Structure 1
Amino acid sequence: MKKNKFLIWSILLLLIVPVLFGVVTYIQEVNKEKTYNATVEVSLDNLNTSVYSNPDTVEKMLSSRKFLSSIEISNIEQVQDNLVIGKNNDWVTIGLEGSEKDEVKKNLELITNKLLKDSEAIYNNQVQLIENTIDELKNSSPTSEKTLETEQFLYDLELKKINALKAEIQEPITVTEVGSNPMKRAIVSGILGFALMVVVIIVGVLFVRRK
């Protein structure tokens, strides 16, 4: 009789506990505050004299209070904590996490637009400087000793001007929800509950046998 009751209870536990584990986990995941991650990929300018051509410098600048204070971001500390900069040669991937989807996207747009605007201003100055130098060299009257050196320098400047690339967005801003699927987590939790009950039942069987 005791064995029959034990068997019935074991079956009930194997059926009920995994379901309870799954239901509780599903409810928790559904009600949990959602987190969103916005990312954008930007190629930097290729003028080595510009601070905006160095990914390390760009990383420090974007996460600085001075930079963030210059745009319409109120929660600066929170943005600093959740801002992630990935560096790859002359590219940077800017990522920002937050609980509000629209706010995360807006803040990342502000950061990106400010970066591009400041970078373009310096880029234009650099290109203008190259053009002015080229004009001066073309209008000057070099001596015969410096003609070859001047022509080489002029060629290098014109090549630099032709190949000059300013900072641009390569992959537009995308916003994704961070976190796993509630149903998937519920299934995993149910499996763990089932495994736990199997262990409990095995321990119970060994205990009964000893008696």
Structure 2
Amino acid sequence: MFLFTLTQEFVRQGTATESHAITLLRRAVRRGYDVEAAPDGSVAVNWTYRRFHPHDENRTLTEPRSLTLTPQILIRGLTETTRQDLELIQAAGDRARFETQSGRQVVTLGFHRIPPAASARLNERGFITDDHGRARLTLPALIAMHAQDHRTHTTIPQGWVRPSETGHASAAGLNRPGRRNGLLYSRTSAALCRCGDLSIHADTRDEARRRARDHRLTTTAQFIREALTT
């Protein structure tokens, strides 16, 4: 279950099931809205609404609008061990079942199983759910795993450097006496993603941050189109 907040001319709040949330996300991607996943399993959707000016049909008005979907149980503690258990459950598909063994509920994966304590922890923290006896990953868990896979960061610009350090063959630089003589100022910043598909240099850090955000939006849209089904 998700809590949603729709911000337009007014603010509307309510709840949405996983199926409804998937429908909303797929619709947002089809319409070309900006959709970004967060490590806590939430999703932010932003778009610009355009309408004709009420007094001038040759003009249009634009309004920023947004939709946030926040799971009732925020995803916390997505460690490497937890991630491995979730990937095992996901790979098992219909073979991942909830069973009671020695009075405790465990997740079985064919001939293997998730230990009782780990099974209980995954269930209580909102990573998995009981779907008519089948153990499956929740939508917030899938969103959090995707966000973890595409965690981005940008580097601090180098600042004052020697021309050779930026690839310039010329010895030209700041022509002033003192510590900065012969130096160039570099605002270049790199944008990198954990997935390895983003590794670029931008002229400024703001530009690097924009490129990193564009990467997150693109990969989130791809994730919604390919990985999420109702």
TM-score of the alignment, normalized to the shorter chain, above 0.5: no
Larger RCO, structure (CA 8 Å, separation 6 or more): 1
Q: Which has the higher strand share?
A: 2
Larger radius of gyration: 1
TM-score by length of 1: 0.26
